[in-house]
Structure 1
């Protein structure tokens, strides 16, 4: 009887492994009975009023094994501890930008959003860099934030394990100089976390359409994280697009320096998190937005996921969690959510790029006052399950 039971268990495990290896997709959903738990509480832990989680959660392991988590506003602070389950908020500011008036400096207001380290000591970081033209009325007569918001990505580096980051250097943007009369935002926004695949380091960012640059999710990669000029974007067939600095090189031949967005039907929103499911090898893109689950259905706000074997070809998005979002601008809700990211405390990689069948969905929870979000913003997480779906 015992040998029959062992054979049955072996056959069952082999079947599960086979199903995982041939999974066509992944279903991401809250674990049964899961409820949000607070990772960072603004009211009790904030070092200043705007010490809020204003970007997706990222984590890395330092050279001494300490885990650092970043989900910060422009004055970036980290949470650190022995594991993702035991973190303490630190009031030390590790990064802030220079608020320079010249858009050609790419150093006005920045969010450190994408840290990555190979050894736990040198930490590279992509920065979501906003140029606030509305504060320079000579460049933006309208004085409106959205009308004069111009965005680019820069690279900052820490040599002390993430205790302090240096000034940013231009990495990527659109091949046009700032215009104060455009009337809407433009540029390359919100870089995802960085992930490694076959010796390349990949990240995604969202481009707003202008001129030769089409709207959508741009995929880019580099082999050298320390060289901000080495990133190349997807052109629809290969990674050939070089991000030209229009202030240094001019605006000629703009089409050659604009990325080709991935299909919007598969990645319809900003990708806020990328992880690789260890059981299937599938990459999971995490997004927040509002759309219908199927043709003819009512739109649903919440967290969506899409999967890919190669970071280029993606599945149709699936709803992972329905929730009111910051971007809904809804009235009458007590709280809204944004900046979703998946992290697994048991990840094997130094930068938490991998996840198992159980992980956590991290989000910013914003207390609402009427129709507007307040400064009372917490970082929360909810346990989730990632279940392989076979083609059959």
Structure 2
């Protein structure tokens, strides 16, 4: 308690200098916190959209399918397996998928397409597929009056084959049993616009895809949505515990989309360099202030050592003074950052031109309110303050009393 009182007394001696130091550190905290809020918020938007739209949070597949997907690496999705996975804590939605390729034919043209077999209801509850229909209607499992199964086609498929809603599409591919797969389908809807990720897709009901590729009761992926993309590794572990045998594996999205995850992580870590530069510049000014304070009090430290104060106590006194300044600055910076980050989170930064990704429109970059956004800058500032205080602290501890008192 005595050391704390001395530290408070010392930092209040030169109030103008203390105020400037606190404002400098608080400004650094504010900049780091706001930038983290916007950065984390924008990454959250991208990753939440990507995982829901493309990979889900976890995928159950045959071992090796994630690395080298082929038509033949399919597994039987039984009712018992589906129910066991649905019952795992944290699982919010599941959607089976079949994925392969085919050659699509219109009246006069052909075009290579990517075929997706989905359960319409489960897929709509898991991904944004239903929101991407730009013409026609969303997929249904029912056949039309002539017995044709309905499909949704990507915008590029529609353009290349000159197809519209209600037209007939012929698909030719290879079945899993080695036979020639071919069938005729009715176009129910068009997905997105040319240039979207779905531009070459042909999406059909799961049962129709199983029949077309001769995969009765089988699927390539069971895509699973949890509460949050961050908890995907833990959710994958829980799902892996209910999978039968060694054939199936549960992979989090970080494994399924390894390259995308590594790219996003590297980009995010690169952005932290800017934050460290800000903190470094602030620390240079704080170091100058602390050194000046120590030099001005050289005589005082000499007297303290002469009356028996240990070098360790002088060292910790300087450390405590600097950390007190850092704590006060962080509290002040946090009070200012709180409403700013809240505004970014609720209102966001409006884009000059709304950005459309696969039929989903992004009009704002939003911030994030989290313990990390406020806690990480405080941790960095406190660590930096402790490092800054090392040199002045050692200087004060090594003062020779006789030499120091000559400055009085």
Is TM more than 0.5 here? Answer: no
Looking at secondary structure, tell me which structure has more helix per residue: 2
TM-score by length of 1: 0.22
Between structure 1 and structure 2, the one with the greater Rg is 2
TM-score by length of 2: 0.22
